[in-house]
């Protein structure tokens, strides 16, 4: 099982937005006019996308809700093109050969026609009906590193609902795009294949095929709420100690006694709670409670708890430390920890190694400098200082 994540936020616009704007990548209207005659650059978007992936056989075995099946994926690289930002139609042709295309569609006057050309070259020799293409970037902008996952979510929803939303604010097609072979094909009772297409600035192309079986999950009927409807629910608890299980049940009982939700039915809350608890890691001490309403959780959960048992011997947890590289440094960092003798002694040892490297500066002197005098942002300073401080912190923890 894997959690695939993509996120895009603009914490420092000057790092990307200004250079992209100066290079004429961005639309002056702050919109992505995908495949439209108004296409003149894309709009940057912010967002987070999380997708839980699992092998189909394992998902069927575990009774998971299957929203979509990715049949194949592919990646290739353009190579020779007129510029580093201009994609290759030939390379994209080699990657896609299916039905509806959720395209990259950034809304650029050069990229959109090239992508549409690749799609047309794939489908024109093999189709008699027309084809839908679309791009979620017209709705939410270009999420950049998360754009592929955003397109995947739109594709899955389109398959589930049997509806392909139109491109937002679309007026008429880009005159450089040949739309003779692109349009809407009739919905049939057969499984429908969707294509997700994504292209990078430096010629990388990504592609995925997903399949929908006429509005039905691969493991059964698909409900609109994607939730179970059982009357009873098993709440599983697990902790490193026996008292930990008791604390979990008490905290849960107290929470539901003081919190309520009017926008979600009590049965759905109970089902989601059971599913969440059941997916947590199993630790040695375990217990469970069978409930059939939120009232059981609010007032009788602790009484309903089964005897807590130790399923496996407790193991001493192993602790590991991962050191950060340079980039998080700042002036006078860790200066307050020098008051601890163990920490100071560790830094003294580290400084001996720094002097062996023929460095003509003092670790302690550099750490004590104020912001306006500090040279800590220089790689030759920040790397050894960050390492020394982290070694000293480990020594302090060990003491």
Q: What is the mean pLDDT of residues 168-196?
A: 63
Predicted confidence (pLDDT) at residue 188 exceeds the cutoff of 90:
no
Number of other residues whose CB lies within 10 A of the CB of residue 197: 23
pLDDT, greater one: 191 or 48? 48
pLDDT at 199: 53
- Number of helical H runs and strand E runs in the chain: 12, 10
3-state SS assignment for residue 156 = helix
CA dist 384 and 376 (Å) reads 10
pLDDT, greater one: 36 or 221? 36
| Contact call for residues 142 and 30 (beta carbons, < 8 A) | no
Task: State percent of the chain over pLDDT 90.
Answer: 13
Domains of the chain in sequence order:
2-212 (3.40.47.10), 233-310 (no CATH), 335-398 (no CATH)
> How does strand 69-77 pair with strand 204-212?
antiparallel
pLDDT at 74: 65
Count of alpha carbons within 13 angstroms of residue 20, beta-carbon side: 19
Degrees, nearest 5: CA angle 238-239-243: 115
Q: What confidence tens digit (pLDDT) does each residue in 302-348 have?
A: 888 888 888 766 566 677 888 888 788 889 999 999 999 999 999 99
Count of alpha carbons within 13 angstroms of residue 348, beta-carbon side: 7
pLDDT at 5: 93
CA dist 230 and 227 (Å) reads 9
| Contact call for residues 146 and 48 (beta carbons, < 8 A) | yes
Rounded to the nearest integer, the mean pLDDT of the chain is 78
3-state SS assignment for residue 167 = coil
pLDDT at 294: 81
Say how many Å lie between the first and final Cα of the chain, rounded.
39
pLDDT band at 278 (very low <50, low <70, confident <90, very high): confident
Predicted confidence (pLDDT) at residue 121 exceeds the cutoff of 50:
yes
CA dist 363 and 369 (Å) reads 10
DSSP state of 117: H
CA dist 179 and 167 (Å) reads 15
pLDDT at 80: 54
pLDDT at 388: 92
Number of other residues whose CB lies within 10 A of the CB of residue 238: 19
Predicted confidence (pLDDT) at residue 95 exceeds the cutoff of 50:
no
pLDDT, greater one: 397 or 77? 397
61 contacts: CB under 8 Å, gap ≥ 6: none
pLDDT, greater one: 381 or 184? 381
Q: What is the mean pLDDT of residues 226-248?
A: 78
> What is the pTM for the complete model shown?
0.49
| Contact call for residues 96 and 193 (beta carbons, < 8 A) | no
Edge-to-edge strand ranges of the sheet holding 285-291: 233-239, 285-291, 309-310
Q: What is the mean pLDDT of residues 377-381?
A: 87
């Amino acid at each position: 099982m894997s959690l695939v994540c993509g996120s895009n936020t603009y914490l420092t616009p000057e790092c990307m937005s200004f250079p992209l704007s100066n290079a004429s990548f961005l639309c002056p209207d702050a919109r992505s006019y995908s495949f439209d005659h108004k296409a003149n650059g894309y709009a940057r978007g912010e967002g987070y996308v999380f997708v839980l992936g699992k092998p189909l056989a394992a998902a069927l075995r575990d009774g998971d809700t299957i929203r979509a099946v990715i049949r194949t994926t592919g990646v290739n690289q353009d190579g020779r093109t007129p510029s580093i930002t201009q994609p290759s139609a030939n390379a994209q042709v080699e990657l896609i050969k299916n039905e509806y295309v959720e395209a990259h569609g950034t809304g650029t006057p050069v990229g959109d026609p090239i992508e549409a050309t690749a799609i047309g070259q794939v489908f024109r020799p093999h189709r008699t009906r027309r084809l839908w293409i679309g791009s979620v970037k017209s709705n939410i902008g270009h999420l950049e590193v998360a754009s592929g996952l955003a397109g995947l979510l739109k594709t899955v929803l389109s398959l589930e609902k049997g509806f392909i939303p139109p491109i937002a604010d679309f007026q008429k097609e880009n005159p450089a795009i040949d739309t003779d072979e692109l349009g809407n094909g009739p919905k049939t009772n057969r499984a429908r294949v969707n294509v997700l297409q994504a292209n990078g600035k430096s010629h990388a192309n990504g592609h995925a095929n997903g399949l929908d079986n006429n509005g039905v999950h691969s493991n059964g009927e698909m409900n609109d709420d994607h939730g179970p409807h059982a009357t009873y629910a098993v709440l599983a608890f697990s902790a490193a100690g026996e008292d930990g299980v008791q604390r979990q049940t008490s905290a849960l009982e107290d929470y539901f006694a003081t919190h309520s939700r009017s926008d979600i039915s009590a049965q759905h809350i109970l089902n989601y709670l059971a599913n969440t608890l059941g997916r947590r890691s199993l630790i040695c001490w375990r217990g469970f409670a069978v409930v059939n309403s939120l009232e059981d959780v609010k007032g009788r959960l602790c009484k309903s708890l089964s005897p807590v048992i130790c399923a496996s011997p407790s193991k001493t947890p192993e602790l590991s430390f991962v050191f950060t590289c340079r980039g998080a440094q700042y002036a006078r960092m860790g200066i307050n920890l020098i008051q601890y003798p163990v920490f100071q002694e560790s830094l003294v040892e580290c400084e001996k190694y720094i002097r062996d490297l023929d460095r003509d500066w003092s670790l302690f002197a550099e750490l004590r400098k104020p912001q306006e005098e500090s040279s800590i942002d220089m790689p030759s300073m920040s790397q050894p200082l960050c390492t020394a401080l982290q070694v000293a912190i480990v020594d302090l923890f060990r003491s």
